[in-house]
Amino acid sequence: MHAHHKKELHKLLSRFKDEDLFNLIWATNILQTENYRRALPHLDLKTVNPKAVGIQEPHEFAIHKWELETLANEGLTTPPSAPRKGKIIRMKHDHYGNIVACINRLRKLENKEFSVGGHKKNIFGELVRIGNRQFPWQVGSANMANLYRNNFVYGQGKCAEEFRKKFQISITDFSKVSFALHASLMSRPSLSGDQAFKVIGVSEEAYRAALRPLCLPLTEARRLATTERRNVIHVAYKPSIFRQYPCINFSGKDLRIRSPLPQLIMDRMTTGLFYDVVSGGGPVRDEYGRRFEEYCLNFSQRSLPELSWQPEEQYKLKKSPVDTPDILCFDSGSLILVAECKATRMSREAMFGQDPTSERGFADLVKAVKQIWRFFAHCRLGKHSANVNPDAVGMVITLDNWLVMAEKLKEEVFRRADREIASFSQDLVRSIDKRRVIFTPVQQYERVMSTATKTSFTQLLSQATATKHTGWNLDMIHEEVSSFDSSVDREFPFIGDIQDVVPWWNSFAKDS
């Protein structure tokens, strides 16, 4: 039955001309944002349900952004149909009912494909895949924290050198043009020729250079989408080329640029930087790992200076140097938190594959747990002088959404850590040292720290791994602790430092 729905979806998509589908996806996308007035001139309002205008998810009339992303990719792999007998009735670029018809067919296809390939038998694995598809859209990339964090971690030093070597443009210039392009394409469906240079205020040379890692000609986009999506059964979990190339050029050298989902330009210029620089090898990976540790430490120190936050340091074990975990947190001289920071991002297979435990980065999570447990053992044995609080816990802060809604995968991390710890620690680690370990993406950690007090944070640590909170996000648990104070809402602690890593920020803000 899923083959029928796939055929019917492609039949609908084939009735769009090249640009008409992307125009309609753009208008639908913008229609359901606070910026909805920009979409109205590009839609036949007689076809639009007024209840679908300006809504914020969740809503019964919402067309989800991740569905539009899937539809845009499917559009690239479905060429317009050629006339055979008579005239083809084309889908209009401004008819809202056309996008509704495509989305309804897509939903039917996804529902039928759920039972294919064993997904129906693995509900917990499916929840992880659903979360990995939806969470990036729900959290969003267009915020100062995301811009600062990713440029701090991936936009300096050896990482910046790797980016320039690959694309012949600096990350600074790339991000400036990308930010301006994002702002422009949130207000209009396309930019043509020298209109772009005038609208976003950059030279033609800078504009064309920034498009190299950001944009593909339509023919190349079709070829890439077809190749990358060919061998994946489930349409919901096929690779999205818009994560790598959020813009499509419809006019060769003259440049007519469309971005059906311009929010992905922000994603490309922030979280996407990892995939640009990781090819630099060990020195680059070491650098962005250190920078992520530094970011988490500085964020913690500025957010809760009432606690003592200490960076990684070395201590001696049998005359050999050993590193502590990345961050140690003390309250009145008592160690309450031991944290490891992991900057590796998830591959597509880690997000949507059948066996995420075999993918890049999963072993790092296991290693982090072992390092935390080993350190607690060394403290117990007097190898390190820290005075460990009886309720002290571990934490793994990740730069990506590792283990969100993934309780079964967390259990596998602990099983592997437990199995490997004997040889790793030379049998020094005992059950008493295998303390609770909290996993949290950095975005959740930031939200907690922006609203936490010393009391609510320490209470959170004691309750975060309780059975009743299984599957909860860390910031959701924090809001449930009795000492949570809803009046606490700190501004981003690096707001005064953003120009240090995003040099164009102040001039852009001033100009705008």
Beta carbons of 167 and 213 less than 8 angstroms apart? yes
pLDDT of res. 456: 97
Query: Domain of 475: which CATH number?
Result: 3.40.91
Q: Distance between CA 212 and CA 210 in Å, rounded?
A: 5
Residues 130 and 70 placed together within one structural domain of the fold = yes
Sheet holding 247-249, edge to edge: 190-192, 256-258, 247-249, 215-217
Residues 129 and 155 placed together within one structural domain of the fold = no
Map 335-349 to HEC letters. EEEEEEEECCCCCHH
Residues 26 and 4 placed together within one structural domain of the fold = yes
Residues 3 and 103 placed together within one structural domain of the fold = yes
Assigned domain for 335 exists: yes
Q: Are strands 334-342 and 327-331 parallel, antiparallel or unpaired?
A: antiparallel
Residues 134 and 148 placed together within one structural domain of the fold = no
Write down which residue in 139, 170, 190 finishes a domain: 139
pLDDT of res. 316: 87
Assigned domain for 492 exists: no
Write down which residue in 87, 112, 139 finishes a domain: 139
Assigned domain for 486 exists: no
DSSP string, 432-464: GG---EEEEEHHHHHHHHHH--HHHHHHHHHHT
Write down which residue in 139, 167, 198 finishes a domain: 139
> 3-class DSSP state for residue 149?
helix
Could you tell me the pTM of the whole model?
0.90
Q: Which residue type occupies 490?
A: R
Assigned domain for 82 exists: yes
Q: What is the mean pLDDT of each run of 10 residues along the chain (512 residues)?
A: 82 89 96 94 94 84 93 92 68 92 93 68 67 76 88 94 93 92 94 78 86 95 92 85 95 90 95 90 93 97 97 89 96 97 76 66 88 95 94 93 73 89 76 93 94 97 87 90 94 94 78 48
Residues 78 and 178 placed together within one structural domain of the fold = no
Residues 461 and 316 placed together within one structural domain of the fold = yes
Assigned domain for 487 exists: no
Q: Distance between CA 258 and CA 211 in Å, rounded?
A: 12
Residues 150 and 210 placed together within one structural domain of the fold = yes
Residues 421 and 455 placed together within one structural domain of the fold = yes
Residues 134 and 189 placed together within one structural domain of the fold = no
Assigned domain for 241 exists: yes
Residues 198 and 152 placed together within one structural domain of the fold = yes
pLDDT of res. 348: 62
Assigned domain for 427 exists: yes
Q: Distance between CA 302 and CA 349 in Å, rounded?
A: 36
Q: Which residue type occupies 57?
A: E
Assigned domain for 367 exists: yes
- The contacts of residue 271 (CB under 8 Å, 6+ apart) are 136, 141, 146, 150, 345, 400
Residues 259 and 368 placed together within one structural domain of the fold = no
pLDDT of res. 273: 93
Q: Distance between CA 484 and CA 453 in Å, rounded?
A: 8
Domain of 115? Answer: 1-139
**What domain count does the chain have?**
3
> 3-class DSSP state for residue 411?
helix
